[in-house]
Chain A
Amino acid sequence: MSLLDVFRAPPTAVPEPLAAGQEAISCFGASVELGGRTVLHDVDLTILAGEVLALVGPNGAGKSTLLAALAGDVPLRSGEIRLAGKPLKHWRAQELALRRAVLLQQVQLSFPFNVLDVVRMGRAPWSNTAAAEHDDELVSAAMLATDVTHFAHRKFYYLSGGEKARVALARVLAQDTAVLMLDEPTAALDLRHQELVLQVARAHAATGRAVVVVLHDLNLAAGYADKVAVLDQGRLAALGTPAEVLTEELLSRVYQYGIDVMPHPVSGRTVVLPRR
Chain B
Amino acid sequence: MTATIPSEAVTSAEEAEESKESAAAAKTGQAKTKRTAKDRLILGILAAALAVTALVAAGTGQLHIAPVEVIGSIIHGFNNWLQGWLDYFGTGWNAPFGSAPLPEHARGYETLWSVRFPRVVLAMIVGAALACAGTVMQGVFGNPLAEPAVVGVSSGAAVGASTAIVTGLATQGNWVVAICAFLGGLITTLLVYSLSRSKGRTEVVTLVLTGIAVNAFTFAMIAFYTYVADPNAREQLIFWQLGSLNGASWLSVASVLPLLLAGLFMAFMAAGKLDLLALGERSARHLGVNVERLRMTMIVTVALLVGAGVAFTGIVSFVGLVVPHLIRIIAGPGHKLLLPASALGGALLVLLADLGARTLVTYSDLPLGMLTALIGGPFFFWLLRRTRNEQGGWA
Partners in one complex: yes
- A residues sitting closer than 8 Å to B (CB atoms) are 1, 4, 7, 71, 73, 92-98, 100-102, 104, 106, 108-114, 116-118, 120-125, 127, 132, 135-145, 147, 149-153, 157, 173-176, 192, 195-196, 199-200, 203-204, 207
Chain A residues, Cβ within 8 Å of B1: 138, 141-142, 145, 173-174, 176, 204
Evaluate contact between A1 and B334: CB separation under 8 angstroms: no
How far does the alpha carbon of A173 sit from the alpha carbon of B369 in the complex, in Å?
49
Assuming A117-B333, A145-B5, A149-B26, what are 9 further A-B pairs, CB within 8 angstroms?
A93-B285, A93-B291, A97-B286, A113-B332, A142-B1, A143-B22, A143-B23, A157-B390, A207-B3
Kindly identify, within residues 331 to 350 of chain B, every residue whose CB is under 8 Å from any CB belonging to chain A: 332-334
Give A84 Cβ to nearest chain B Cβ, in Å.
16
Chain A residues, Cβ within 8 Å of B276: 121, 124
Evaluate contact between A102 and B9: CB separation under 8 angstroms: no
Evaluate contact between B333 and A112: CB separation under 8 angstroms: yes
Closest 9 CB pairs of A and B: A97-B288, A111-B333, A203-B3, A125-B288, A110-B142, A94-B288, A152-B22, A149-B19, A102-B286
Evaluate contact between A96 and B288: CB separation under 8 angstroms: yes
Say yes or no: is B101 at the interface (Cβ < 8 Å to chain A). no
Evaluate contact between B278 and A173: CB separation under 8 angstroms: no
Say yes or no: is B43 at the interface (Cβ < 8 Å to chain A). no
Q: Which of B3, B26, B282, B328 contacts A200 (CB 8 A)?
A: B3
Chain B residues, Cβ within 8 Å of A132: 32
Say yes or no: is B362 at the interface (Cβ < 8 Å to chain A). no
Q: Which of B282, B287, B290 contacts A125 (CB 8 A)?
A: B287
From A122, which residue of chain B is reached at the shortest CB distance? B287
How far does the alpha carbon of A199 sit from the alpha carbon of B7 in the complex, in Å?
11
Say yes or no: is B167 at the interface (Cβ < 8 Å to chain A). no
Evaluate contact between A109 and B278: CB separation under 8 angstroms: yes
Evaluate contact between A144 and B2: CB separation under 8 angstroms: no
Chain A residues, Cβ within 8 Å of B138: 111
Say yes or no: is B6 at the interface (Cβ < 8 Å to chain A). yes
From A208, which residue of chain B is reached at the shortest CB distance? B2
Chain B residues, Cβ within 8 Å of A152: 22-23, 25-26
How far does the alpha carbon of A118 sit from the alpha carbon of B289 in the complex, in Å?
16
How far does the alpha carbon of A117 sit from the alpha carbon of B390 in the complex, in Å?
21
How far does the alpha carbon of A120 sit from the alpha carbon of B276 in the complex, in Å?
10
Chain A residues, Cβ within 8 Å of B278: 109-111, 113
Q: Which of A98, A140, A142, A192 contacts B8 (CB 8 A)?
A: A192
Evaluate contact between B390 and A124: CB separation under 8 angstroms: no
Give A148 Cβ to nearest chain B Cβ, in Å.
9
Given known A-B contacts A145-B9, A150-B18, A124 and B286 have beta carbons under 8 A apart = no
Say yes or no: is B144 at the interface (Cβ < 8 Å to chain A). yes
Chain A residues, Cβ within 8 Å of B3: 141, 145, 173, 200, 203-204, 207
Say yes or no: is B356 at the interface (Cβ < 8 Å to chain A). no
How far does the alpha carbon of A189 sit from the alpha carbon of B63 in the complex, in Å?
69
- B residues sitting closer than 8 Å to A (CB atoms) are 1-6, 8-10, 15, 18-19, 22-23, 25-27, 29-30, 32-33, 138-139, 142-144, 201, 268-269, 272, 275-280, 282-283, 285-291, 328, 332-334, 390
Q: Which of B8, B142, B285, B288 contacts A73 (CB 8 A)?
A: B285
How far does the alpha carbon of A123 sit from the alpha carbon of B288 in the complex, in Å?
11
Chain A residues, Cβ within 8 Å of B286: 71, 96-97, 100-102
From B6, which residue of chain A is reached at the shortest CB distance? A199
Chain A residues, Cβ within 8 Å of B22: 143, 149-153
Evaluate contact between B283 and A112: CB separation under 8 angstroms: no
Chain B residues, Cβ within 8 Å of A145: 1, 3, 5-6, 9
Give B352 Cβ to nearest chain A Cβ, in Å.
26
14 A–B contacts from the bound complex (CB under 8 Å): A1-B33, A71-B286, A93-B289, A97-B288, A110-B280, A113-B275, A136-B27, A141-B1, A141-B5, A142-B1, A144-B9, A145-B5, A147-B9, A203-B3
How far does the alpha carbon of A275 sit from the alpha carbon of B240 in the complex, in Å?
73
Evaluate contact between B144 and A110: CB separation under 8 angstroms: yes
How far does the alpha carbon of A180 sit from the alpha carbon of B4 in the complex, in Å?
16
Q: Which of B30, B275, B288 contacts A136 (CB 8 A)?
A: B30
Give A201 Cβ to nearest chain B Cβ, in Å.
9
Chain B residues, Cβ within 8 Å of A4: 268-269
Give A170 Cβ to nearest chain B Cβ, in Å.
10
Give A41 Cβ to nearest chain B Cβ, in Å.
23
Evaluate contact between A108 and B334: CB separation under 8 angstroms: no
Give B223 Cβ to nearest chain A Cβ, in Å.
35
Given known A-B contacts A112-B333, A122-B287, A135 and B32 have beta carbons under 8 A apart = yes
Chain B residues, Cβ within 8 Å of A200: 3, 6
Evaluate contact between B269 and A108: CB separation under 8 angstroms: no
Chain B residues, Cβ within 8 Å of A144: 5, 9, 19, 23
Chain A residues, Cβ within 8 Å of B25: 116, 152-153
Give A156 Cβ to nearest chain B Cβ, in Å.
10
Give B113 Cβ to nearest chain A Cβ, in Å.
31
From A175, which residue of chain B is reached at the shortest CB distance? B287
How far does the alpha carbon of A145 sit from the alpha carbon of B2 in the complex, in Å?
10
Give B151 Cβ to nearest chain A Cβ, in Å.
16
How far does the alpha carbon of A143 sit from the alpha carbon of B19 in the complex, in Å?
9
